[in-house]
């Protein structure tokens, strides 16, 4: 939980320093952190359930590898947050505006 809060805090600071919306990027980073753990945990759980159901694995396979599964999910969430931080380190491209041409002048012969 502390790592989750720290990731959101540092994303806020990085976004503010590069001129982006700090709150938005803090929420994006928090979503990546939680989402990576959630999706990877569900994926591993489905994989283990298929193994138990169709390949005759032990029904305690999840309890046996609980620590390893948690470590893999946390490392994956760090990887996702690291990618967000790498994106935030890039400075946004400055838009260059081209001035329009001057209005035409018509010679008045009168």
- Return the pLDDT at 98: 83
Element (H, E) at 110: none
The alpha-carbon radius of gyration of the chain (Å, integer) is: 26
- What is the pLDDT at residue 14? 94
Give the pLDDT confidence of 25-58 residue by residue, as tens digits. 999 999 999 999 999 999 999 999 999 999 999 9
- pTM score of the predicted model: 0.77
Q: How is the chain split into domains, by residue range?
A: 23-89
Cα gap 41→54, rounded to integer Å: 20
As a 3-state breakdown, the chain gives helix, strand, coil percent values, each rounded to 5, of 70, 0, 30
Mean pLDDT (the chain) is 91
């Amino acid at each position: 939980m502390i790592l989750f809060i720290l990731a959101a805090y540092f994303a806020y600071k990085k976004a503010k320093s590069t001129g982006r919306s700090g709150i938005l990027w803090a929420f994006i980073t928090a979503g990546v952190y939680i989402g990576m753990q959630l999706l990877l945990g569900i994926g591993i759980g489905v994989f283990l359930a298929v193994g138990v159901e169709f390949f005759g694995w032990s029904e305690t396979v999840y309890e046996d590898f609980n620590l390893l599964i948690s470590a893999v999910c946390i490392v994956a969430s760090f990887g996702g947050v690291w990618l967000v931080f790498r994106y935030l380190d890039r400075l946004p491209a400055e838009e260059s505006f081209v001035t329009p041409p001057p209005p035409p002048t018509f010679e008045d012969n009168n």
